[in-house]
Structure 1
Amino acid sequence: MKKLYNLITNNFQYKLLAVVFSILLWFLATNKEIVDTTITVNYKPISKGNYKVVDYYPRKITLRIEGYRKDILSLEGLKEVKLILPPNIEGSGWKTIRIRKENIQLPVESVKLKKVSPKMIKVKIEKLYRKIVPVVLNAEGIPKGAKVKIDPNYAVVLLPEDKKDFVFEVKTEKIDLKGVKLPATFVLKLKTVYSVEPKEVKITLEEKR
């Protein structure tokens, strides 16, 4: 018994360090292990063209992915991935879209996407109308005698066909200019429910000459 005790306690610190290092090495080796697995997730089609997505199916896609175990584990509980659609799609209605691996955005860049199923999805799109409209400053308390300059003073709005004849301008976010000393410059966002470019404009207030 004494021999066993001496065996355990002799150079105990070094033995403890050896155990700790062994555990750390095991942990590092496990995390660096390459894993190949399959997950099924929801996806969201993202339009990059002059159209909006009205509907689509199926609602889920299956992804075969490969990466370090720690990165694969970080994808557990992933609720949705983004699927970038082609910028140019002709006409409105239901379209068959081929899924390209490079158009699926995973939240962990080091994870490699090896296969997607299905290869095709159905997407119902509605073409949007490009309309150029003036930008209007939405402000109160504009200093008396101030000259307002908006740059740029117009914006391009993407509108559904049935809305194009009812949108005549786009306003900036609201701002209170009471007590502002001239000259003054602000950058304000454009407020609209529709897609618009640019997203913001520069407002300059100067004294009239």
Structure 2
Amino acid sequence: MPQTLPDLDLSYGQMLWAIGEGQEPDSVRRDQSRYLRRLGIPSSAQTPSGSGYHLRYNFYDLVETAVALRALSLRSRPKDIAAVLVNEREEFRKNVKKAWFNLPDNVLSQPWVKSRGKQRPLLGDSYFVRVHDRRSEKWGKLDVAWLDDKALKVELFDPVERFPDGESRALIPLSRLMIVCTAWALEVSNS
């Protein structure tokens, strides 16, 4: 298990490059992240800026932005995402820290990490984030579940939670997303 959180100091472009798994973000991704910054995601976006002041992003900012962009790709509304990640930021960071410290040793050097989705990981204690939309009873609340949770009805490689009434809800694989983004971020920050 990792002993410390990664010490990242990324520019905006480096952060988007890491989230894009080592590829330059397209114009849609840049526009989405720019809009999320207006909504307060990541938290560094709320830091005062001005002439000569460059925003820098840390590990939590990287993970928060990656989760928000993944939620957008799952057709969540930006305001729903902001309601969860901005209002529940402290709780989200506690869960990110817990998920990070539950990862296996040397996970960042595994071959699947930089395969850009060609290989699927098999993580025993994977954490997932539920994004509740505005019609949910829990709108604006953060839900983090892990693969060992008996109440979590999810297939091993399918990040969709299925309920007995036939309804399904997409889950964001927090552990996998965090590992991949961090591996790419460490590569760019070391160069």
Q: TM-score band, normalised by the shorter chain?
A: under 0.3
Between Structure 1 and Structure 2, the one with more strand by share is 1
TM-score (norm 1): 0.18
TM-score (norm 2): 0.19
